[in-house]
Amino acid sequence: MQKLLKRTAQVQKQAARRSRTRSRINASDQRRLLIGQHKQVNQARKELLYSARQALREDWQLGPLAPRRDVGDNAKTYGTVPIRVVQAVDNPLGKWKKWGIRVGDRVCVTGDTERDRGKIGVVGEVTEKAESCKVRGINRVNVPTPEYMKVQGRAEPPVQTTEAPIHLSAVRLVTPLVDPNTGIKRDVIVNELTLTPTGQRYIANYISPDTGKPHYIPWPPKQKPDYKDNDVDTLRIDVEKVTWTPTLLRAPMPSGVIDELRNKYSKFRTRHEDTYIEMKESMDEERKRREQEMQWGGGTPKEMLTPVQELNRARNMERKGIDDQDKLTEEVLAGIGAMMVRKGKRLLPKEEKVEQATLQPPPPEPRTEAQTP
């Protein structure tokens, strides 16, 4: 049984190791994919900027003779940008900073590369993994209508206007604060926002004149989703109807169902039937019994000794001076005591007086001709 449990634990460790390796490989593939997406977006932006500069240079050089560019295939989509340029791509490093900006906050665009620098708007969408946000009415661009949105029978415009994402480092929070000099409340652009471990945000270098403490900026209220009822929705009375009542008189499910779900012969199984456990325990007991019956110095069970092995075993026991039960005789005890005296180790208490004669080794027996080697 112990062997079976050890095998199950080993299999579980191997499965966990394979799972960690697989997750590490998937994370590496995902990071490589995100890096490729970043390269594609940057390349598309460079090509768009290069084509716009080239067209501007040609129009300035040719003047009235400049060609019309809103003709042919680009007649309806001239001036649009590719869709992948306005899509937020996750950070490939897998780590993103907490900027303290949520949906509903008023922010001001402060980035040098943004065309709507200095405008104030309300955040409509925040993508934390991409560290970007979309501000309502700011940084709007025209994109061509995708093919999947062109439903047959509906007149979709060829161009749609949407907000392009802005990196969170290019926006600053706008909040009303009381001026300590004039006492008038006015909007202030917060250059540095500090977050607490409890989830609150405040301005580190500003002290409220009313309380004399740091001014905590409240989070914007979350908007409740507007749910609409449809004909295919399940009624509340049907959801709250009790269809099963648990009881202690029966199991929650038959044991056969558990075996079907977890595979009765799976190597990951940790719960077994009583008959199987009894069989394994009896096998372990039989194995231990056989190990105890292994003879000393031999290696085969006692009931399988050959006559030569039995003779050798008897001679060895006779030469050692012990019988089958490995008993200590008086002569052996006397020899042990004499050796202890020679080495200076006395285990007996000092109060007990031991006669020296009893600790002396026995005199050697006279050697006969039969014992001479």
Q: Which amino acid is at 291?
A: E
Q: Compute the average pLDDT of residues 200-213.
A: 79
Nearest Cα to 171, choosing from 111, 91, 217?
111
Residue 355: its pLDDT value, please? 47
- Provide Rg for the chain, Cα atoms: 45
Q: Which tokens in the block code for residue 222?
A: 């979350």
The mean per-residue pLDDT over the stretch 202-209 comes to 79
Average of per-residue pLDDT across 310-325: 73
Distance, in Å, from the CA atom of 338 to the CA atom of 362, rounded to the nearest integer, reads 9
The pLDDT of residue 364: 58
Q: What is the mean pLDDT of residues 215-224?
A: 85
Question: Positive or negative, the Cα torsion across 244, 250, 252, 258?
Answer: negative
- Which residue bears the tokens 């200590």? 328
pLDDT at 322 over 80: no
CB 7 within 8 A of CB 267: yes
* Phi, then psi, of 86 in degrees rounded to 5: -100, 10
Asked whether residue 352 carries a pLDDT value surpassing 90, the answer given is no
Q: Which residues contact 317 (CB under 8 A, 6 or more apart)?
A: 323, 324
Query: How buried is 138 (Cβ within 10 angstroms: 0-12 exposed, 13-18 middle, 19+ buried)?
Result: buried
Q: What is the pLDDT of residue 214?
A: 81
Cα–Cα dist 66/59, whole Å: 5
109-151 residue pLDDT tens: 987 666 788 899 999 999 888 888 999 988 888 888 877 777 6
Query: Which letter, b or e, does each residue of 199-228 get, where b requires 16 or more Cβ atoms within 10 Å of its Cβ?
Result: eebbbeeeeeeeeeebeebeeeeeeeeeee
Cα–Cα distance, 34 to 317 (Å, whole number):
79
Q: What percent of the chain has pLDDT over 70?
A: 83
